[in-house]
Amino acid sequence: MKPYTMDFDVKARDFSSAGESSSKFRKTLLMLSIPSDIVRRASIAAYEAEMNIVIHSYGGKMHFEIYSDKIVIIAEDTGPGIKDLELAMKEGYSTAPKEVIEMGFGAGMGLPNMKRNADTMEIVNHDESGTKIVMTINF
């Protein structure tokens, strides 16, 4: 069965449109009759991934695949990667710049929150060339 796919470009540091792709993704999930707790978990995972691109990267893409039994979320950016992955996975650890934290973003919950809400999360790549994260949520 052909999935429904969605693709979005995400700009670095563009806080005015930050979260838009996750919001459109969320609305689509509702229209596709996805159960409400899955909608919530998938929206959180997508939002955190999108905000990571906005806050930390040089820009990137969000890709969504929706099947009748699972959702795949792929977040991919063009760098600078995650230096210390183990630290980044710790709750409350943040490398976000001061001014971003002052805006109320980058509380160091991004990766842990994604991991908590997705059934599987794979960090395919996280070197200087960029970061690629693949998450799936099954139902």
Partner 1 sequence: MYFHSVTLDRDRCKGCTNCIKRCPTEAIRVRDGKAKIIKEKCIDCGECVRVCPYHAKVVVTDDIGMMENYKYKIALPAPSLYGQFKDMTIGDILTSLQSCGFDEVFEVAYAADIVSYITRNIVKTKDYKRPIISSACPAIVRLIQQRFPSLMDNILDIMPPVEVAGKIARDEAKKKTGLKDEEIGVFFVSPCAAKVTSVKNPIGIEKSYINGVFSMRDVYSMILDKRKFVEKKIDHTSSMIGVGWANAGGESYGTSLENCLFVDGIQNVIGVLEDIELGKLDDIDFFEGLACVGGCVGGPLTVANNFVARNRIMKLKEKLNKDEATKKYIEVDFNEFMLNVKLKKSDVLNLDEDIDKAIDMMNSIDEIYKSLPGLDCGSCGSPGCRALAEDIVKGFASEYDCIFKLKDRIKILAEEINKLSIKIPPVIGSDKEVKP
Which residues lie near partner 1 (CB under 8 A)? 1-4, 22-23, 26-28, 30-34, 36-37, 39-40, 43-44, 47, 66-69, 113
Tokens standing for 84? Answer: 């210390």
Contact yes or no for 57/131 (Cβ under 8 A): yes
The CB-of-6 to partner 1 minimum distance in angstroms stands at 9
The CB-of-30 to partner 1 minimum distance in angstroms stands at 5
Tokens standing for 127? Answer: 């070197």
- Name which of 27 and 90 has its Cβ closer to partner 1: 27
Contact yes or no for 64/6 (Cβ under 8 A): yes
Tokens standing for 51? Answer: 């905000």
- Name which of 106 and 130 has its Cβ closer to partner 1: 106
The CB-of-29 to partner 1 minimum distance in angstroms stands at 10
3-state secondary structure of 2: coil
